[in-house]
Chains A and B, each alone.
Chain A
């Protein structure tokens, strides 16, 4: 069999060789460090943690494409078992820093989850999550979904079409999310509540967040969610990629295992998803190292958003067993800007995973405050607080000042352009959201968190 190919002429082999450079993955990028001015780092051997999700890409790319090395950093990346262990390891100092849920530094600082002072100066990406329902649930709700002239469903799909299904459902309706302070939890609740389904409140006596709920929402490890959907321990979940696409590609009873109904891009356009978090103590002890890490991450994020080819290459790297490890074709969908809802319903979503564009890496105070408003809305924070409290808390956790310092160095090196980041002196607040930015049409102004909380009908009092 093989001898046939061995007989090929050298010329054809050369041709094949050219195509294999992509296959092998990393083609050496000349001069990553050519115009880098490294900082005088306090610590050069670093250990970062991540969870097997595509949005850890900036970390992986910064390592594999030599951005860390250009800064003189020798970084080891370790997949962590779950978010609790990841945060624990950061708090204990086992890890220097990690890929975190945006809500984690916030939750840790205000004491909703593990208590610790975690800061972030780098948002890793925007969007990237989806809500997937078991196929039979989808089939039950499909008749309620508005369709266009060709009979194709109109996105975004709202949860009001799910409401009758839940009302007639016998028994608990279990839904999965990732972590109590994760974006997924808030997005799932937001989407459900926007269509009138009560997702349940957290109370002093109910840390599970099931009080008054029409559904039962529990935290689960992302990679296991498709299996849970298969065993019907869950009927749906909100999770990051590739685990929504996994449900599309997996089969149960001759049909796809689950149907992603909505992405978080549709719930809140360009919402912040993951951040790079370190302890406050670490950041104070190793300020130059922190800046160097940020520089490498920003460049990696820029690389990820630079071209389609880069995304393809990133997929190959991420699919390695010690990174995300899922099959390339599964990773491909979200990373290259397409999203399959149902087989035959492939939608182009160029902004499904944003790593750099729209100033994605800047840690906006308004983003932090949005999470705080949701914590208040669902009862994780039980006290009403003045608007000033929200700003003060955000300033403790989100550190645009450090980000801007790193960005300034990169601009000086001409590794990023001035217009890639907000101007110096920017106040850290996104402008109030537009009409169609949130799925429920609400306007969010980070400077007025209490007004925003007050505008919801379903909220913990």
Chain B
């Protein structure tokens, strides 16, 4: 029973290649299922291997302006480095929260009494944290040293391998050429191999953590020094008031004290560098936002178009003109309009909701809504006369006719449109992020492109796979929904 449910679920979502595995696990005709698995999994695996093999081969041949095309292995290592960076960001965020907690409790205590024993104990805590940090970073540095040694050894092995006369570049008269450091100039192949080896990432996580530890160690340091400054000026003030000292000096000390106090009180916003996981999340949120706009605009408009041929005739020219417009063009206009509306105090701020979020989201909506609009219009206008006859015989009022007959009848069409919309939207999103935002996958790709090195090329390739996978997942979800709402079984996979 459970097995059948599982099979049905996979069938609904179109992930049919899981079915033979389940059947096999439940002991159903092993020979037949085995053959089925071989066919459904084996063939794609063969195709994938062929793809990676071709890529691997081409990567040894294709020259880009930044070096050799990154090989699958290089790209894989790069994706691990990206994940390591993500973990570092998580760690950094956690440290930031701890720091803010300590800062705000110090600030609270300072407001009561700048010399209280609580503050002394908090300062002690800070010292403890700093010691812990330096211990941790020493340990990590030892690991890094090992990793670095290994890395350098592998680089020098590669250098050794290529530092041979057959890899030297010679001038036309057969003389070996010198490079800018006076060493024999190596040919392209050798240079690329050495570059690839030396650009291979190592110990990314450990180095990132050491960086974070150093940063926060210095943040704690300045916090502690500010506290002691406040205490110092407080003592000065106390002394001056006790001795009835110079008014001017007193005022100056008071002012200084207040300045440092304010600094301790001020909340600092988290300013991370972002990581690939953040960008993926943000991109998905943005595309869903754009998709939601597209759906809320296109479905009602489509229904009106389907109901009224006059309305359809009226807006059809607009649809035909706007539909083929590239996101690159839309995004520029969207930026100006959104910034024209949300300007100054109205400007959106926050982690997700920013003007740039609207730029990308609205561009997605503008480019992707057309499929939903025309499909909805088609679904509504091509409604089966039988359904309408039922409505007439039952004398349904306009409202019921719309919501009980017309819209339900058009739902398969609407969902077909929505699936196309989401697919187009995801493609458009990457482009509009490149143009409009300073976050998200598209932006990240653009930044990497600007970095202009082999490593960044590898990062771009990782992103391409991520974009493809996310796009495929979104499509699967829409496909499943589409299957779920369709009354007939024909849904193209």
Binding site for B on A (CB under 8 A): 1-2, 5-6, 8, 13, 16-17, 19-21, 23-34, 37-40, 44-45, 52, 66, 69-70, 72, 74-76, 78-81, 92-94, 221, 223-224, 226-227, 230, 246, 248, 250-252, 254, 257, 321-322, 324-327, 340, 343-346
Contacts of A45 in B (CB 8 A): 268-269, 271
Identify the interface centre among A24, A39, A70, A223: most chain B CB within 10 Å of its CB.
A24
Known: A20-B148, A66-B218, A70-B222. A52 touches B450 (CB 8 A): yes
The smallest C-beta distance from B335 to any residue of chain A, in angstroms, reads 8
Nearest B residue to A325 via CB reads: B451
Contacts of A248 in B (CB 8 A): 180
A343 and B271 contacting across the interface, CB-CB below 8 Å = no
B259 and A326 contacting across the interface, CB-CB below 8 Å = no
Contacts of A52 in B (CB 8 A): 447, 450-451
Tell me the complex Cα distance, A25–B355, Å: 35
Binding site for A on B (CB under 8 A): 63, 65-66, 138, 141-142, 144-146, 148-150, 169, 177-181, 185, 187-188, 191, 199, 207, 210-211, 214-215, 217-219, 221-222, 225-226, 256, 258-260, 262-263, 266, 268-269, 271, 273-274, 339, 343-344, 347, 355-356, 434-435, 438, 446-453, 455-456, 459
Which of B144, B263, B447, B455 meets A20, CB within 8 Å? B144
Contacts of B448 in A (CB 8 A): 321, 325
B447 and A322 contacting across the interface, CB-CB below 8 Å = yes
Contacts of B148 in A (CB 8 A): 16, 20, 23
Which of B214, B266, B273 meets A27, CB within 8 Å? B214
| Interface residues of chain A: helix, strand, loop or mixed (majority) | loop
The smallest C-beta distance from B316 to any residue of chain A, in angstroms, reads 36
Contacts of B185 in A (CB 8 A): 343
B218 and A69 contacting across the interface, CB-CB below 8 Å = yes
A28 and B217 contacting across the interface, CB-CB below 8 Å = yes
A325 and B145 contacting across the interface, CB-CB below 8 Å = no
Identify the interface centre among A70, A321, A344: most chain B CB within 10 Å of its CB.
A321
Q: Which 6 A-B pairs have the closest CB atoms?
A: A325-B451, A16-B145, A76-B271, A74-B268, A223-B450, A72-B263
Tell me the complex Cα distance, A263–B449, Å: 25
B211 and A28 contacting across the interface, CB-CB below 8 Å = no
Tell me the complex Cα distance, A227–B199, Å: 20
B450 and A74 contacting across the interface, CB-CB below 8 Å = no
Tell me the complex Cα distance, A248–B185, Å: 13
Which of B65, B138, B187 meets A226, CB within 8 Å? B65
Which of A26, A72, A93, A343 meets B215, CB within 8 Å? A26
Tell me the complex Cα distance, A224–B456, Å: 14
The smallest C-beta distance from B146 to any residue of chain A, in angstroms, reads 5
Contacts of B138 in A (CB 8 A): 17
Tell me the complex Cα distance, A12–B101, Å: 40
Known: A16-B148, A24-B207, A75-B271. A325 touches B450 (CB 8 A): yes
B273 and A322 contacting across the interface, CB-CB below 8 Å = yes
B146 and A5 contacting across the interface, CB-CB below 8 Å = yes
Which of A44, A321, A340 meets B180, CB within 8 Å? A340
Nearest B residue to A250 via CB reads: B65
